[in-house]
């Protein structure tokens, strides 16, 4: 649908030629001229969304704590400074010892320090595993969406088979096969996310392939590879970015779940939120805070990524951007 905009009214000077002719501009072009580029409009909508601010604040605090852990943590990651205070029937809790504000764990480690170092471990697992799933899923989705035909059918049937297995169960199976190491956890979580990104990118590319700009590019004689990389992929990648943001929350929870099940590897006293929950089970009767603090950290961090991802999805949704 097009709208005829009136000619620009400006001062006329000597030597002016014929009067300006009415300029025909589509509604989409007029809106683009008014609001700037797509991404500037997305950022503008994010700035106006309170949910985005709350999610971004939580994510920023989480990232800051993880990156500054060596500076702000009172004790090193594997330090056990409070061993002499631990007895079989009593573990000092929050407020009992001034030098340990959140108490001690069963090994004599400072809970506050372990929570800070655990943020670093969770950040690394979440980012690396999501990056692995994103790269693998985009590669499969790109191939399927570009070539179509039997290539698309073969890849999608394999993806459907993988999707028939619950994500966490698939991650547990892969981690059990690869071994109980942090790298195995990252690979397992990343592999379980590949089908999600693959289907999402492939569906988005199929939708873009029927657009007018693709038909115009084909009319001009551009090759399939150039059309895909220069036109289809940049316009189809938006939903994948949103999904990657939301998947970070899932990755943090899955990493904690695998560590809770004993598949994360590492020494028992190593700081990691899921591992802290594992060793808190036997101490719930005398030290319930050992499960409370890491559980709250996992929940709040996942909430931050989810809120920001939902706000980003809303800002990039064309149905809401037109309002």
Please, is 178 exposed, middle or buried when counting C-beta atoms within 10 Å of its C-beta (0-12, 13-18, 19+)? middle
Choose between 144 and 219: higher pLDDT. Answer: 144
Distance between CA atoms of 302 and 41, rounded to whole angstroms? 26
pLDDT of 205 above 60: yes
Class of the CATH-defined domain 64-82+103-321: mainly alpha
Give me the pLDDT at residue 36, please.
47
Give me the pLDDT at residue 133, please.
93
- Picking from 124, 103, 80, the residue whose alpha carbon sits closest to that of residue 291 is 103
Choose between 246 and 227: higher pLDDT. Answer: 246
- Percent of the chain exceeding pLDDT 90 equals 36
Choose between 63 and 20: higher pLDDT. Answer: 63
Give me the pLDDT at residue 265, please.
65
Q: What is the pTM of this model?
A: 0.77
Q: Express each pLDDT in 242-271 by its tens digit.
A: 899 889 888 988 888 888 887 876 676 678
Distance between CA atoms of 182 and 271, rounded to whole angstroms? 12
Give CA 38 to chain center in angstroms: 21
Give me the pLDDT at residue 140, please.
93
Using the 8-state DSSP alphabet, how is residue 85 labeled?
A: G
Give CA 6 to chain center in angstroms: 45
Give me the pLDDT at residue 320, please.
58
Give me the pLDDT at residue 198, please.
93
pLDDT of 190 above 90: yes
Length of the chain: 323
Give me the pLDDT at residue 55, please.
94
Taking the domains of the chain in order of start, what are their residue ranges? 64-82+103-321
Q: What is the mean pLDDT of residues 180-200?
A: 90
pLDDT of 317 above 90: no
pLDDT of 56 above 90: yes
DSSP assignment of 31-83, as one string? HHHHH-SHHHHHHHHHHT-HHHHHHHHHHHHHHHHHHTHHHH-SS-TT--TTG
Choose between 95 and 318: higher pLDDT. Answer: 95
- Picking from 286, 265, 289, the residue whose alpha carbon sits closest to that of residue 275 is 265
For the chain, count helices (H), then strands (E).
Answer: 15, 2
């Amino acid at each position: 649908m097009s709208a005829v905009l009136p000619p620009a009214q400006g001062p006329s000077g000597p030597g002016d030629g014929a009067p300006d002719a009415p300029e025909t501009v589509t509604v989409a072009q007029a809106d683009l001229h008014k609001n700037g580029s797509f991404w500037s409009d997305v950022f503008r909508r994010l700035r106006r969304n309170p949910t985005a601010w709350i999610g971004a604040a939580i994510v920023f605090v989480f990232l800051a704590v993880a990156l500054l852990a060596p500076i702000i943590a009172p004790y090193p990651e594997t330090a056990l400074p409070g061993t002499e205070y631990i007895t079989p029937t009593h573990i000092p809790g929050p407020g009992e010892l001034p030098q340990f504000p959140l108490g001690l764990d069963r090994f004599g480690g400072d809970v506050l320090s372990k929570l800070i170092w655990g943020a670093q471990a969770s950040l690394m697992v979440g980012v690396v595993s999501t990056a692995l799933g994103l790269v693998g899923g985009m590669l499969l989705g790109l191939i399927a969406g570009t070539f179509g035909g039997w290539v698309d059918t073969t890849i999608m049937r394999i993806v459907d088979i993988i999707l028939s297995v619950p994500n966490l169960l698939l991650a547990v199976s892969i981690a059990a096969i690869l071994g109980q190491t942090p790298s195995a956890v990252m690979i397992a979580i990343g592999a379980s996310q590949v089908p999600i990104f693959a289907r999402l990118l492939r569906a988005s590319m199929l939708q873009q392939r029927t657009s007018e700009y693709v038909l115009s590019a084909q009319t001009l004689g551009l090759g399939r590879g150039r059309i895909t990389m220069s036109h289809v992929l940049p316009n189809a990648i938006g939903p994948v970015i949103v999904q990657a943001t939301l998947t970070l929350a899932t990755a943090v929870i899955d990493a904690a779940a695998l560590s809770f099940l004993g598949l994360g590897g590492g020494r028992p006293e190593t700081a990691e939120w899921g591992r802290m929950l594992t060793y808190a089970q036997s101490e719930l009767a005398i030290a319930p805070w050992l499960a409370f603090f890491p559980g709250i950290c996992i929940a709040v961090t996942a909430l931050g990524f989810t809120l920001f991802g939902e706000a980003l999805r809303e800002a990039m949704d064309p149905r809401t951007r037109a309002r």
